[in-house]
Chains A and B, each alone.
Chain A
C-alpha cells in the first residue's frame, strides 16, 4: 500500500490542538471529581455505611426504663406541674385546664394545644368520664400508683390511643403534636391521650396532575390521610409501610411504602439506607428528600419521580417500585424511575389502548419538539437552508430580511421572553394570569414582528415549542426540557446540524450512564428485555401485560 508515502508532516499547531483536546476533558473530569468529593464528605460516607437499627425500635426500648422511674412520691405531681409550666413558658398556644377528682381528693391538670387538639372529643371522652367516675365512686378502696393508672386506662378513659411516659420532655413533645397530657396527683408519670385532630385540607383533585378519567383524589398534607388513601387503594396484607424519623431539629415522619412480595429487597434496603443518611435540621418537603437520596446531583434529569396521585403510587408499587411519603407534603416520591416514565400519565392505562398509545406517541413527539425545535430552526436557517423546499426557504428569508440580528440572538430574544412570561404567569393571582398571557403572547409577539425584531416564522416555532412543553405530564420533567433547550440552541449555533447530533448523543450517553437506584435511566430505550416495550411508545392492551417490567427485578415477574 502506498499510503505511508503520503502522510502530512506534523506541525506544532497540531500538537497544540491535541493538547487542547486532552486538557479540556481532563479539567472537566477533575472538577467533577472535586465536586463529587464534597458530596461524599457530607452524605456519601454514611450512605454506604451499614444499615443501622430500625429507628422505630429505638423508641420502643423505653418501657423497661419507665418501670424503674415511675414512683408515686406525693411531691411528684407538683414537681411535674412546675416542670411542665416552665417548659411551656413561652408557648402561648399550650393550654392548661385544672380538675379536681373528688373520690381521690386529688387535683389533676390537662395540657393541650389550641387548634391541634380535638376539643369536643376531649370534653366528651376524657373530662366527662373522668369527672363522672370521680363523683360516682367512693374513695376508700381505690388502688394507688401503677394500679390506679391501669384502672384509669382500662376502665375510665374512653380514648384508644394512650401511653404513659415517665418524663415531662416526651410529654411536651406529644402535646405539641396535638395529644392531651393528664397529670394527676398520686399517679406515677404522665398520661398521654391521643386526641389530635388538626385542621387539614380536605381531599381534592390534584392540581399538578389533573386527568380526565380516573380517581379524583390527591394526597394532602396529613401523613395519616395519605397512608389511609394508599391503604384504601391497595387493600393487601403485603403492603408494607415502614416509618422513619427524619430531621435533626424538627423531626418528621417519613414512610417508605412497598409491596413485601414484589419489590426487590435490595432496592428496599438501599432506599432505607439513603433515607437514614439524611442529615438536615428540618426536612420541609419531599423535594428535600429527593435531593438527598438522588444518585447524581450533577445531572439535569430528575432521578426521582414525584406525584400527588395515590393511584399512581399504587400502580408503581405493583411494578416493584418503592414510594416515600413525608408528613406535611402532598407529594409522594417514587423510585427508581426511568426516563420514559416521565412521559406517562395514569390516564394512559384507564383509557383503551389505542387512544392511549396515540397520546403517548404524541407526547414523545411533543417532547422532541420542545427540546429541539428552536435549535433545528437555527441550524437550518444559518447552516443548511438547502434542506427545505426552495419556496419555503424563499418565504422564510424574505420575512427575515428586516431582522437585524443573527438567528441565535433572534431566537434567544423570543425564547427568553417567553420563559419569563411563563414564569411570571405562574405566580400571578388566578384572575390576572390569563390576561397577562394574552398581553405577553399575542400583543408583544405581534409587536415584535411588526417592529422587525423577530421573524413571524420564529414566532410560530417558539409558540409551538412552548405549547409542546406543556404536554409533559410531570412538571419536573417539563422543566428539564425547557432548560436543555438552551444548550441545544447554542450547539446548533456553533456547529449546525452536526452540533445538534453531538448534543443529542451527549444526552443519550449521559442518560445511559445515569442510574436511579441501580436502574439504568434509559432502560426503556435500550431494554434488557424487549418485552418491556409493551409499555413504552405504545401502551399494549392490558391483557398483554402479564409480566412486571424486568427493569425493577421484582421478586415475582408474573402479575397474578
Chain B
C-alpha cells in the first residue's frame, strides 16, 4: 500500500541504536574477564579506548564505502566491485560468519539463562521461543528490527548505567592504581583482545542504504562508537574496581557478579540481577536478530530467494550451530574467533574495497 511505503526508512536514531545493538551483545558481560586475562594489569581500559578509536576509523571508512553505492547492500556492491563469482563467494562466507555469530549469541543466552534464571529447562525449549520471536521480528524487515532497537537498546543502556552506579558500592580505587605501573607493554598486549571485541560494527555496511538520511552515517558512527566505548570502559573499570584484576579473572561473568555482589536492602527487590539479566537477554535478542537477519539477507541476495524463505532455511542451522561448542570455555573461544575474523576481514576488506571503488570512479571520471 502506498501509505506504508513512505515510512520504510530507518531514521538516524534507529540506525544509531541498530549499530550499538549489534556491537554490544553478549561480549559486554565477559569483556572485563577477557581483557584482565590478557593484560593482567588494571590499565587495560586504555587499550579499549585505543581499539575504540581504531574502530571509529574503520567504521568511517565503511561509511565512505557504503556512500559510493547508496542504494545497495554490501552483498550487492561487492559483486560489482570484484566480479560476480568472487563477490558471491565472499557473500556466502559472510553468511556463514553471521550464522556463527548468531549461534554464538544464542548459546550465550542459553548458558546464562540456564545458569542464572531457569535451571533445568531444556536448551531446545529456551532456544525455540527465542528463535521463533526472532523469526517473527526479522520477517518484518530491517525497519521492524530498527524500531525494536529503538525501544530495547535505550532501556539496556539505562540498565547498564544503573549497574555501573550500583558497582560504585563495591568500588575500590586502589585496585585501579597506579596507572601504567608496568609501562605501556601490557596495554599493547591487551590490544590482542580488545581489538576483537567490537565485532558487530560491520552491520554498518548493510544498514546505511536503508537510512532516511544516508548523509548522517558519520553521525551514527561517531555516537555509536562513542557510546559503546563508554560502556565498555565503564564495565571494565567497575568490574576491576570491584574485584581487582585477580578477582575478575576467576569469574565467568564478572559484570553479572557486580550486580549480585550488592544487596540493596532499601529497595523492594533485594537483588536486581534477575531483572537486569532479563534486560540483557532482550539486548542479546537484538544482537542475535541482527546477525540472523543479515545472514538471511545474504542468502536472499546471493541466491535470489525471498527473505522469508531464507529466514526459514537458516533457522535450523542457527540452532544446530549454537549446540556445537562443547562447554562454556569453547563458547568463549568461538567469541574470540569471531572477533578475529571481524577484525581481519572487515578492516582489510573495507580499506581495499574503498580503494577499488575510488580507483574505479576516478577511472570513469
Contacts and interface: CB of A to CB of B under 8 A. Distances in A.
Mutual binders A and B: yes
B147 A520 contact: yes
Contacts of B132: 21, 24-25
Contacts of A528: 7, 11
Nearest to B327: A6
Contacts of A495: 118, 121, 125-126, 129
A6 B325 contact: yes
Nearest to B137: A509
A169 to B, nearest CB: 39
B14 A21 contact: no
B274 A505 contact: no
B337 A1 contact: yes
Contact of A502 (B130, B147, B308, B326): B130
Nearest to B314: A22
A502 B133 contact: yes
A390 interface: yes
A387 B11 contact: no
Contacts of B11: 528-529
A216 interface: no
B238 to A, nearest CB: 22
Contacts of A18: 316, 319-320
Interface stretch (B72-80, B199-207, B217-225, B265-273): B265-273
Contact of A3 (B135, B147, B270, B337): B337
A6 B330 contact: yes
B326 to A, nearest CB: 5
Given A383-B118, A390-B270, A526 B326 contact: no
A498 B126 contact: yes
A522 B152 CA distance: 13
Given A1-B333, A387-B271, A20 B124 contact: yes
B320 A518 contact: no
Nearest to A518: B3
A509 B336 CA distance: 31
B315 interface: yes
Given A383-B118, A509-B133, A512-B148, A530 B3 contact: no
B325 A512 contact: no
B312 A22 contact: yes
Contacts of B1: 48, 270, 518
A287 interface: no
Interface in B304-320: 308, 312, 315-316, 319-320
Given A1-B333, A388-B270, A512-B140, A498 B4 contact: no
Interface in A152-168: none
Contacts of B323: 8, 10, 14
B321 to A, nearest CB: 10
Given A21-B319, A509-B140, A526 B147 contact: yes
B136 A509 contact: yes
B359 interface: no
A17 B319 contact: yes
Nearest to A26: B312
Contact of A501 (B127, B282, B324): B282
Nearest to B323: A14
B278 A501 contact: yes
A78 interface: no
A386 interface: yes
Nearest to B149: A526
A502 B129 contact: yes
Contact of B14 (A1, A506, A526): A526
B7 A22 contact: no
A546 interface: no
B320 A10 contact: yes
Contacts of B7: 518-520, 528
A335 to B, nearest CB: 11
Contacts of B127: 21
A517 B133 contact: no
A509 B4 contact: no
B285 interface: yes
A298 interface: no
Contact of B118 (A10, A496, A506, A518): A496
Contacts of A505: 133, 148, 282, 285
Interface residues of B, number: 62
Contacts of A24: 128, 132
B319 A8 contact: no
Given A18-B320, A21-B127, A528-B11, A509 B281 contact: no
B315 A21 contact: yes
A384 interface: yes
B3 A21 contact: no
B2 interface: yes
A508 interface: yes
B274 A553 contact: no
Task: Kindly name the residue among B6, B148, B268, B325 whose own CB sees the greatest number of chain A CB atoms within 10 A.
Answer: B148
A3 B135 CA distance: 28
B340 interface: yes
B128 A387 contact: no
Nearest to A11: B323
Contacts of A14: 320, 323
Interface in A506-554: 506, 508-510, 512-513, 515, 517-520, 522, 525-526, 528-530, 553
Contact of B274 (A7, A267, A387): A387
Interface string B101-118: 000000000000100011
Given A26-B312, A518-B4, A498 B333 contact: no
A390 B263 CA distance: 11
Interface in B253-292: 265, 268-271, 274-275, 278, 281-282, 285
Contacts of A501: 278, 281-282
A48 B3 CA distance: 12
Contacts of B14: 526
Interface string A382-420: 011011111000000000000000000000000000000
B151 A499 contact: no
Interface string A477-504: 0000000000000000001111111101
Contacts of B325: 3, 6-8
Contacts of B334: 3
A431 interface: no
Q: Which 5 A-B pairs have the closest CB atoms?
A: A518-B3, A18-B316, A526-B150, A3-B333, A17-B124
18 contacts: A3-B334, A6-B326, A7-B325, A24-B132, A270-B3, A383-B117, A383-B118, A387-B269, A388-B270, A498-B113, A498-B117, A498-B278, A505-B148, A509-B144, A517-B3, A522-B147, A526-B14, A526-B148
Given A17-B124, A18-B316, A499-B129, 11 more contacts: A10-B324, A14-B323, A21-B127, A21-B128, A266-B3, A495-B121, A502-B133, A505-B148, A508-B152, A509-B140, A509-B148
